[in-house]
């Protein structure tokens, strides 16, 4: 079964929609916009805010590093196309850089992934521990990483933000084919990744979830 194209909400019929490259670009812009607004206010109000834990192991600042690593890593996998290993290129942000400069680094990483998704032939496959994937899979991985970790950071900084349904829906359909129907895409994606609750369903453990990147 082919994945729903970007723009189609989880459980809804697919309609004419932007490309997966556009989905990465749009998600990058949306997430960096809210993170930039957070960066503009939190240093004055609470200078230590970015260095407190935002998930079980990492601070908000460390999650920016994780995002850079992930986005460039997915780019590299689509380029190198290994069958049994991760790539040997690891991306990082300057540890001395202020938050707004780190966001520039993430914009570069998101742009690189979007361009590689756009240019990769549809038959390309590459290794990933959660399922060997094609360009749509790696695009969706980048979207999920951006949405979920932006959610982690904004929550840690005390900022109310929920991933937009139009961005969450296609990635949810592509990577979580067994996700329960009936709820909004963003709420379902948060539940699938151990970050939220759905009525009548047990909460997913934060460390016990994975997506399915295999081509369908």
Buried b (16+ CB within 10 A) or exposed e, 49-62: bbeeebbeebbbbb
Structurally, the chain folds into a number of domains equal to 1
Answer yes or no: is 213 within a domain: no
Q: How confident is the model at residue 45 (pLDDT cuts 50, 70, 90)?
A: low
- Cβ-contact 142, 66 below 8 angstroms: no
Q: How confident is the model at residue 41 (pLDDT cuts 50, 70, 90)?
A: confident
Q: How confident is the model at residue 116 (pLDDT cuts 50, 70, 90)?
A: very high
Which residue segment(s) compose the domain that 43 sits in? 20-193
Q: What CATH number does residue 116 fall under? A: 1.20.120
Give 138-162 pLDDT, tens digit per residue.
999 999 999 999 999 999 999 999 9
Asked whether the predicted pLDDT for residue 121 surpasses 50, the reply is yes
Q: How confident is the model at residue 44 (pLDDT cuts 50, 70, 90)?
A: low
Answer yes or no: is 29 within a domain: yes
Q: How far is CA 74 from CA 97, 156, 186, in A?
A: 24, 26, 22
Answer yes or no: is 12 within a domain: no
Asked whether the predicted pLDDT for residue 5 surpasses 60, the reply is no
Identify the pLDDT of residue 46.
80
Identify the pLDDT of residue 59.
97
Average pLDDT over every residue of 184-204: 96
Answer yes or no: is 9 within a domain: no
């Amino acid at each position: 079964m082919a994945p729903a194209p970007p723009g189609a909400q989880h459980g809804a019929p697919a309609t004419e929609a932007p490309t997966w490259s556009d989905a990465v670009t749009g998600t990058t812009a949306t997430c960096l916009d809210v993170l930039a607004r957070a960066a503009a206010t939190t240093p004055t109000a609470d200078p230590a805010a970015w260095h407190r834990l935002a998930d079980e192991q990492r601070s908000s600042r460390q999650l920016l590093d994780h995002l850079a690593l992930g986005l460039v890593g997915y780019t590299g996998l689509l380029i190198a196309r290994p069958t049994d290993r991760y790539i040997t290129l690891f991306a990082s942000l300057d540890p001395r850089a202020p938050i707004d400069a780190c966001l520039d680094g993430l914009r570069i990483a998101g742009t690189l992934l979007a361009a590689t998704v756009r240019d990769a032939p549809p038959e390309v496959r590459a290794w990933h521990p959660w399922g060997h994937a094609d360009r749509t899979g790696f695009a969706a991985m980048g979207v999920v990483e951006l949405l979920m970790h932006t959610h982690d950071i904004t929550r840690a900084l005390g900022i109310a933000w929920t991933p937009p349904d139009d961005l969450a829906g296609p990635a949810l359909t592509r990577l979580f084919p067994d996700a329960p129907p009936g709820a909004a895409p963003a709420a379902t994606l948060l539940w699938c990744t151990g970050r939220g609750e759905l009525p009548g369903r047990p909460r997913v453990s934060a460390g016990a979830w994975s997506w399915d990147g295999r081509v369908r």
